Amino acid sequence: MMKFAWDSYKQYAFGKNELRPLTKNGHIGNMFGGLRGATVVDALDTLYIMELEEEFQEAKKWVEKSFDLNVNGEASLFEVNIRYIGGLLAAYYLTGEEVFKSKALELGEKLLPAFNTPTGIPRGVINLGSGMSWSWGWASAGSSILAEFGTLHLEFLHLTELSGNPVFAEKVMNIRKVLNRVEKPQGLYPNFLSPVTGNWVQHHVSIGGLGDSFYEYLIKSWLMSDKKDSEAKKMYDDALEAIEKHLVRRSAGGLTYIAEWRGGILDHKMGHLACFSGGMIALGAEHASEERKQHYMDLAAEITNTCHESYARSDTKLGPEAFRFDTGTEAMATRLSERYYILRPEVVESYMYMWRLTHDLKYRQWGWEVVKALEKHCRVEAGFSGIRDVYTTVPTHDNMQQSFFLAETLKYLYLLFCEDDVLSLDDWVFNTEAHPLLAGVLLNVF
């Protein structure tokens, strides 16, 4: 599948950000501020660990010869960090090839002006040429987004480690200081924070989009620091306790899910993006106190089971973008606008962690169901495409092979069927785009 996805991209869209497999052309989009080759950089480490050596060399050569960082355009700070900087760092740690390190550091420098705000909380959009930054137009009252400014920590500590320049670590340590200072409603972290005042802008809390990877990076920061970053561990433990108390619910049909919170009122919906949390909670459970360990493993298994149900209850055996628990139907999308599947990885990500931490065979079986469903419904003549409605067996394709399909979905599926020592969880921490970063090497930082 990886070879087919890569070969199709190479044939029809090489150097563009993503392949449009139905029209057989490339897509550039406006998320990466004029940067190109998102699929190349996102796929580097997957190609490498799958031992697709020729393909990896093609990708590396593109980075060496054609990857231009002198661009002008508005980029998502978050997306450039997790896909490009994460992908380059992982490729460097896996291969030791200097080109990946130097490109990562050069790009990291270009992101620093986004932090020039009264609080040091970065704005979400940056022009990589001019250094001008601003907030997303749709984010309420010029706010920054928890999942965006909270998902820089792993990569920025590695940038400091590799460059010897403390500025990257200082920027993300300051974010943490602001978050520790601000009052948390019921111990929860709302999704919108003002980069000017350092106060929450509205009380919407989600473990899905807008919030998700902030929590993931707390436990992973602790693991990556060789368990020295005790502040991250405490923030994670406290946040998870609040989430369990206020957001985790069990449906009438016995499914455990994580609701969203809007100013104290629960919205009984779970997004596909929130399905990473089974894997996160299992990863954290490994390191919880003895009496909590089993409790958290059980919670992780229940949430992962709910996410599996969202796939099992669809006609394609792929899961919708969001599913609800507030009507008679459970773990199903009720709105037309939530019935699509865009090759997302979060459910198979949790299968991979659950497999590695329990070795319960059902997780491999569930992963294989996804492989078969992708082959049946998403594979087209020239690549893989998302589908617009998972509840029909003659799906309409969305004509987009997302770069994260190669970075994450296929990587996690591959690792699910590998031996545990391929990217062992003891030695590697995955960033939120599934790029493996070496754990325990942050000597300049800790």
Annotated catalytic residue: which of 55, 321, 330, 389?
321
Active site residue 53: no
Q: Return the residue matching tokens 């792929």.
A: 318
Active site residue 216: no
Annotated catalytic residue: which of 18, 55, 79, 229?
79
Using an 8 Å Cβ cutoff, are 390 and 316 in contact? yes
Active site residue 346: yes
Long-range pairs for 183-188 at CB < 8 Å and ≥24 separation?
184/242, 186/242, 186/245, 186/246, 187/238, 187/239, 187/241, 187/242, 187/245, 187/246, 188/239, 188/242, 188/243, 188/246, 188/247, 188/261
- Cα-Cα-Cα-Cα dihedral sign, residues 343, 273, 412, 357: negative
**Coil vs helix vs strand at 267:** strand
Using an 8 Å Cβ cutoff, are 285 and 300 in contact? yes
> How far is the C-alpha of 418 from the C-alpha of 90, rounded, in Å?
19
Flag whether 432 is marked binding: yes
Annotated catalytic residue: which of 42, 155, 229, 346?
346
> How far is the C-alpha of 251 from the C-alpha of 114, rounded, in Å?
42
Q: Which residues contact 359 (CB under 8 A, 6 or more apart)?
A: none
Residue of 76, 190, 86 lying closest to 428 (CA atoms):
86
Query: How far does CA 175 lie from the centroid of its chain?
Result: 19
Annotated catalytic residue: which of 212, 216, 349, 408?
212
Active site residue 427: no
Helix orientation angle between 53-66 and 86-95, rounded to the nearest 10 degrees: 120
Residue of 278, 423, 267 lying closest to 338 (CA atoms):
267
322 pairs with which residues across the strands? 271
Q: Which residues are annotated as a binding site?
A: 432
Catalytic positions are: 79, 212, 321, 346
Q: Which residues are annotated as a binding site for Ca(2+)?
A: 432
